[in-house]
Structure 1
Amino acid sequence: MKFKATERTALSQYSNSPAPLRLPLSASPPFRTSAYPRLYVSRTIALLTLFSLLVFSSSGLAQRRPSERKGSHSKAWPESMSPAARELVERAIEVICTERRKDPKGSHPIDEMQARPSLPVYSAEAVAGAQRAQRLLPVARNLVTSSIEKLVIEYKLPQTKSFKLNMRRAIGRVQIVRRVKADMASRDNASVFLRRPRTITFGTIFLAGLPSDEAMISVLAHELVHIADGEGDTLRLLFRLVGNRASRLTGMRIYEQRAEELTCDLVGAMSARSFVSETPDYSPLPGRISRAVQHNCVEDDEGDEDHLSPRNTIRALLALSPSFAHELVYGQMPLRLIRNN
C-alpha cells in the first residue's frame, strides 16, 4: 500500500484521460539522383589507398587514447556494506523504535494510523497538527533548500549553466509553498498537486500522528522535494544517483519512483537533523533525531512497487547516512566528523 502518496503518482496511475492520438507520418517524396560516371581504379592504386587509410586511421586512434585517459574519475560507491556497518544500521533501527515507544512526542506508526477511524478536520488533534505544520513550513522550506544543495555537492551533479538554472527554479518552487491544508479524506497521507504547488495537503490522521516538530519537519520536507522536482522532473538525476547508491549498499531494488520517494525521505531526515542542530535543548540526541523516521516503526511492514516498506525505508536511509546511524547508537557524531568541524 502507499503510505505517503503524492497526487502526481496517483494521477499517473489512475488518470482517465485518453491516450494521445498518433497520426501516421506522410511518406517522404522520392529522391531524385543524378547519374555519376563510373570510376575505374587500378588494383595498385586501390591497394595504396587502402593502406594509407589504415595508417591514418590507426594513428588517429593512437592520438585519441591519451586524451580519453585524462581527467580524474570519481571512485565507485562500495558495492555492499561491511558486516559492521550492517550491524550498526540494525542497532540504529532498534534505537529509533525503542525511543518512539518511550517518547511522549513519539510518532504513531503508519500501520497504527491506518487502523484509526477518520478524524474530523476540527478535532483538537488535527487542529494542533495543522497549526504545527503551518508554523514549521517556513523553516522546512529553508532546510530543504540547504539539504538539496548538500546532496548536489555530495553526488557530484554536473554544474552546467542549464543545471544551475533548473536548480534555481526547483528552489523557487519550494519557496512559494505557503499553505498546509488539513483534509479528513486523506487520512494518513500527505500529498501535493503539482499544478497548484503552493499547498501541501495533510490527512487529519497524519497530522495527529506526528506530535513532534522533528517529525513534522521531516514530512513537510518530503513533500517539498516533490514540489521542487515539479512536472518537469528537475531532480530526476539526483533521484537516480541516490537510488543507485542505496541499491548497491542494501541489495534492494530502488529505482524510478522508489528512488524518488527515498530521496524525499532522505531530504526529510537531513532537514530534521539540521533542525535539531539549530534548536538545541537538553533532550538526548538519539531521541530527537529518531523522531524524523519513527512513523516507519511498523509491525505490518509492507511496501509496493513505488515505495520501500517502512522499515526498509529506515534501513536504506541509515545505509546512505552512516553518521546518522552512529549518532543514534552512540549519541554523538563520529570522531572524524567532530574533528572536521
Structure 2
Amino acid sequence: MGEAETAAGNGGDFPDLRPLFADGKPAPRGTLTVNAPLADLTWFRVGGPAQLLFQPADADALADFLARRPASLPVTVIGLGSNLIVRDGGVPGVVIRLGRGFTEVAVEGTRVTAGAGVPDVKVARAAADAGVAGFSFLRGIPGAIGGALRMNGGAYGGEVKDVLVRADGVTFAGETVSYTNAGMDFTYRHCGVPEDVIFTRAVFEGRPGDPAEIAAEMAKVTESREATQPIKSRTGGSTFKNPPGLSAWKLVDAAGCRGLTIGRAQVSQLHTNFLINLGGATAAEIEGLGEEVRRRVKAHSGIELEWEIKRIGLPRGLPGAHDVAGH
C-alpha cells in the first residue's frame, strides 16, 4: 500500500497531526486516524480518544513512521487493551497499535516465532498443536505478545523469561534493535528494555511434548481462570502486582475492599485483585477505585501496592489536554 489510509474519528477535538507527515515523502504505510476513539479497544471499555492513532502495515512501516516523527511528538503504545486504562481526556500525540501485520505465528521444531500483535492464547495453542511444551502459561495471560514481553507476563507457574530466545523491536527514533533473553533484564512483571522500544516480534524455545498432555494442561488453566476470575466482565486483568512473598488479592480482601464501589466501578466479588466496569463507569472512577484500594491496604497492612495495569492519557478537562500539535 503506497499511501496511508486516513480517517477522522469522532472521539474528541485534538488538533489534526496528519500534516506533520505531509513532507513530500510517500504517506506512512498503514492506517492513520485523527481523534480515534480508544474505549472500544480496551477491555474496560472506557477512555477518551487518541490524538492520532497509527496502525502500521508492518515493521518497516513502523520504523519509517517513527523516523519521520517530530522528536517532540509523544508516542504511546497499546496492544489488545487488556491491562490498560485510557483516561477520559484522551491521549495526546500519536498512539501506535500493532495490528494485522504483526500477527504471524510459526513453529519449527521446538522454536516458536510470533509477532508482537499475536494474542498470547494463540501462541499457546499453536505450540500445543505442534507438540511443543512450555507455553501453557500463556493461556492464562490476557493480551498480546508485545505486552507480555514488556511486562515479563506470567501466570500458572510460567513467565516469558522462561521461554524467550530473542525479541526484536523498533526504537522511537526508527532504529531496529534486537535483544537476547539476558539483554531483556527481566524481573517480576518487568523488563529493563528502554521504554522507547516497541517490540515487533519474539522468538521462543520450548521443549518436545505430547499434544494431548499439553491440551489437558491448557484446559486446566482455562478451568481455573473461569472459576476464580471475572473473565466475562469488563475488567483489566490483575490490577496490582504481588508484593514479594505476598498475594495482592489477600491484602485487598483483608483491607475490606471486596465489592467496594465508586460510581459504576467495583472491586470484583470473585477475585479482589480485579476491578470491574459494571456498565457506564468512567476511567476516572476505575482509576479512583484502584487508588482508594491502595490507600486502604496501606492503612491496614502498611504495604503499598504497585499498579500492574498501565494507565495512559489525561484526565478529562485537564488544562492543555488538547494542545499537543507536534511542535
Fold shared by both chains (TM-score > 0.5): no
Q: Bigger radius of gyration, 1 or 2?
A: 1
Q: Quick one: higher RCO (CA 8 Å, sep 6+), 1 or 2?
A: 1
Structure number with the higher helix fraction is 1
- TM-score normalized by the length of structure 1: 0.22
Structure number with the higher strand fraction is 2
- TM-score normalized by the length of structure 2: 0.23
